[in-house]
Amino acid sequence: MRDQAAELRRLVAKQEPSSRIIAVTSGKGGVGKTNIAVNLALALCQLNQRVVLIDVDLGLANVDIVLGISPKYNLGHVMQGEKTLREIIVDGPLGLKIISGGSGITELANLSGWRLEAFVASFEQLNEEFDFVILDTGAGVHRSVISFVLAATDVLVVTTPEPTAITDAYGLLKIVHQRAPQAKAKLVVNMAKSPAEAEMVAERLNSVLREFVQWEVDYLGYVLAEQHIPRAVSQQQPVLLSFPSSMSSRSIKRIAGVLAGEDIPNRSPGIRGFFARVSGFLHV
């Protein structure tokens, strides 16, 4: 009897996936997505969250570089059917799990139906194992980027205070809102000169969104422009580990705290829903 109850609980738990899928994205390139994705993932690990970081940037798979790792296999091998997802997950610092992108992800849009299904199915196994799935996406409104953005539970848009970056963030958010009005959009302002400047950027973006799209992003916080980040990149060690008490590290920890503390009752459709939606989008 007790065994049956345990089995039931297991089944119920299975139907209520708990992973939050956060797509870290931007309108313009080079705004700090990869650094924010990697360090945010690590900061969530420090908060005892189970985190997997997946590099889904098409052209510029940089997660490996920022972390100073060189995994032998990547998503391309999974898509080719040479490896299972489990076989390509590597261990990073602080218990972080990493799935490397490589160049394989470009093939996602061209996968035939059954191979895409198999790929989707292979991701479902992650659902029970992780609290957070962090996706480091490419920039812009390319179909392959948008597919991941739309399919995530949370879209974390990174912008700098540059007018071009803000304009491109707006362009991206407009598309996200058109395609997925239920999406929860969050904003991080990177490379700001001051907290006040970052706040102004958030307010400017939100006032345009309110006026033209009747929408808003949830301003999560800022990371100031600081030499520790480029220095950490050249050492191939994330800033959170190489300069833990830098302003950047503290800002990222604060953002992780906000994310981990959010109450999301039954909002997350989980990984199953996520990849089903990616596949639905790509087949449109």
Binding interface with Mg ion (CB under 5 A):
33-34, 62
**221 contact choice in Mg ion, ligand ADP, none (CB below 5 to 8 Å, kind-dependent):** none
Contact yes or no for 213/180 (Cβ under 8 A)? no
Residue owning tokens 């190489």 = 242
Residue 269 as a binder of ligand ADP (CB under 6 A): the answer is no
Structure-block tokens of residue 55:
């590099």
DSSP 8-class letter at 109: G
Task: Report the nearest approach of ligand ADP to the CB of residue 221 (Å).
Answer: 12
Residue 95, by phi and psi: left (phi above 0), alpha (psi -120 to 50) or beta? left
**59 contact choice in ligand ADP, Mg ion, none (CB below 5 to 8 Å, kind-dependent):** none
Tell me how crowded residue 7 is: count the other CB atoms within 10 A of its CB.
Answer: 10
Structure-block tokens of residue 229:
């980040």
Quick one: 51 or 85, whose CB is closer to ligand ADP?
Answer: 51
Quick one: 95 or 230, whose CB is closer to ligand ADP?
Answer: 230
**225 contact choice in ligand ADP, Mg ion, none (CB below 5 to 8 Å, kind-dependent):** ligand ADP
Structure-block tokens of residue 280:
């639905």
Quick one: 153 or 246, whose CB is closer to ligand ADP?
Answer: 246
Q: Where are the beta strands (DSSP E) in the chain?
A: 20-26, 51-56, 90-91, 97-99, 132-139, 154-159, 184-192, 218-224
201 closest CA partner among 214, 185, 178, 217: 217
Task: Report the nearest approach of ligand ADP to the CB of residue 139 (Å).
Answer: 6
Cα within 13 Å of Cα(178), Cβ side: 9
Task: Give residues 242-261 in contact with ligand ADP (rule: CB under 6 A).
Answer: 248
**230 contact choice in ligand ADP, Mg ion, none (CB below 5 to 8 Å, kind-dependent):** ligand ADP
Structure-block tokens of residue 246:
């830098």
Residue 30 as a binder of ligand ADP (CB under 6 A): the answer is yes
Residue 135 as a binder of ligand ADP (CB under 6 A): the answer is no
**248 contact choice in Mg ion, ligand ADP, none (CB below 5 to 8 Å, kind-dependent):** ligand ADP
Q: Considering only residues 218, 226, 250, 260, which one is a binding residue for ligand ADP as defined by CB under 6 A? A: 226
Q: Considering only residues 18, 29, 94, 184, which one is a binding residue for ligand ADP as defined by CB under 6 A? A: 29
Quick one: 33 or 253, whose CB is closer to Mg ion?
Answer: 33
Site string for ligand ADP, 174-213 (x = CB under 6 A): ----------------xx----------------------
Q: Write the CB contacts of 258 (distance below 8 Å, at least 6 apart in sequence).
A: 220, 221
Structure-block tokens of residue 9:
């609980």
Residue 33 as a binder of ligand ADP (CB under 6 A): the answer is yes
Contact yes or no for 126/85 (Cβ under 8 A)? yes
3-class secondary-structure state, position 241: helix
d(CA 154, CA 196): 25
- Per CB under 6 A, residues contacting ligand ADP are 26, 29-35, 62, 190-191, 223, 225-226, 229-230, 233, 248
